[in-house]
Structure 1
Amino acid sequence: MNPAVTAIRTGWTRGLIELRQSFTNGADLLNHLLWPVLMLIVTFFLRDVEFGSTGLPLGTLALPSILGMNVAAVMVSMSQHLTADREDGTLLRAKATPHGVRGYLVGKVVALSGGLLADLAIFLIPGLFIIGGLAAASAGSWLTLAWVLVLGVVAALPIGAVLGSVFTGTRSQGLLQLPILGMIGISGIFYPITSLPEWLQAIAQVFPFYWLGLGMRSALLPDAAAGIEIGASWRHLETAGVLAAWAVLGLILAPIVLRRMARRESGSRVAERRERALQRIG
């Protein structure tokens, strides 16, 4: 059998095992439940707060936006996993086997994508009953939701792998949190972006957070809600174009950066990072 195919099959199996373990481990299970539950509480308290004179509750506007934010945030998860596995030697062990890095990455994609789908379901299913005003009854809504989700994941995971290759330790991941929070803050997730200054709107439209939120809103909100968006339109073509551009960028950069990172990995580097970690603890 082709070694590459074997590596992919091994990665698929590894990813399913990691996914199953994440729902049988107490700490991981809490992580799966905590964020969706917190966001449900937020949207519940916003359900009667109307945005301006539109008659649209902020909770209804926020629910699909939060779905988009969760999809974009998977890039942070990929980055954190990759950095942690570099630090403890997991990636080095994968490198020691034929096509091991490929199998490792396939496993991470399967585990993180599966976990994301579960998290979205935990948030969305109760949200459909708690929050009114959603337009999720048609097949077109779910089709839009599906293509935005797929494009978003394909855009986010490779970029996350690139970021994980750049950061050398788990402590340095903190440098990633502030810009991510900044992008979330200006992306229209919790409040319509048209309320922000135009220069902030322009910055937000460069990154996938805004477009994922817009795509999810276009899937789950009534057509009248498009009136509060930029250009009073859902801009499906622009959404697909920007997300596709990020996906292409990530798919081009990720293999190059990952190969360079894997070549630099060695037992001495892992030992050096472990020694620095022990010194911090001590």
Structure 2
Amino acid sequence: KIAVITNIDEDHLDHFRNIEEIRELFRRYIVSLPDDGLVVACGDCPTLGSLVREVGRRCITYGLQDGNRVRAEDIVLFEFGSKFRVTLNGQDICQITLNVPGVHNIYNALAALSVANHLQLPLERVSAILANFCGAQRRFELKGKANGIMVVDDYAHHPTEIRATLAAARTGAFKRVVSVFQPHRYSRTKKLANSFGQSFGDSDLTIITDVYGAGEDPVPGVSGKTILDSLLSFSPRAQVAYLPRTRTIVDYLLESVEDGDLILTMGAGDIWTVAEEIITISTSSRFWA
């Protein structure tokens, strides 16, 4: 009876033609809820916010902006975490400390708190559970550290996710954020090329691999270089490299990274193997001795 919707974005374009078709699917989903159902929705997402107002079902909105029933205020971001106070209709209801990084995790916590409060669960207990949550596999997952280099892997494969993950990385005191992105699906790469090109502003050095097809046939003229070209069209001075082969990426990183850098691998394919190989090699006597 409770539907939590975090956002509506242009994704899964191998199944949907455009954002309007995606929005219509969510509209039908909300309408299908029972009369006593509840929608818990991120009010900061313009597409979602307009939809819940249009449908008119019982709804609790959460977010950072004015107008949401549940809000996070006085946010303090730190490496691998945050703290903030939560208000309901302008009144303080609890203080939260998270041990997962990024503003996107604050949004996730607000969604969980909105449901918990509606169900009249003790918020002191909910706050303690959130504080003890250390993240999910492949979501800003720390793979290891070696000689001052930190290696993190994330499942981010959509422009919105990439921006959120890089913003989270920026909360750390790293000398540089070195990102390695493996595009996922030719259809997504082609249709969202412009958005991808504008997603790496928080990356000091960006490496783009070839596309992980995920069962799709290659599309002529579409490759990892499609995203690299888009990135350079928006940021001509960006430090970028197109390295299609995994082995080349590992060698490049081992020669390029410095003490204090963060290596961040991103993608829904097998790019996580690069992160693991870097840790395996870097802890041997061959490199960074």
Q: TM-score, normalised by structure 2?
A: 0.27
Normalized per residue, the structure richer in helix is: 1
Normalized per residue, the structure richer in strand is: 2
Structure number with higher relative contact order (C-alpha < 8 Å, ≥ 6 residues apart): 1
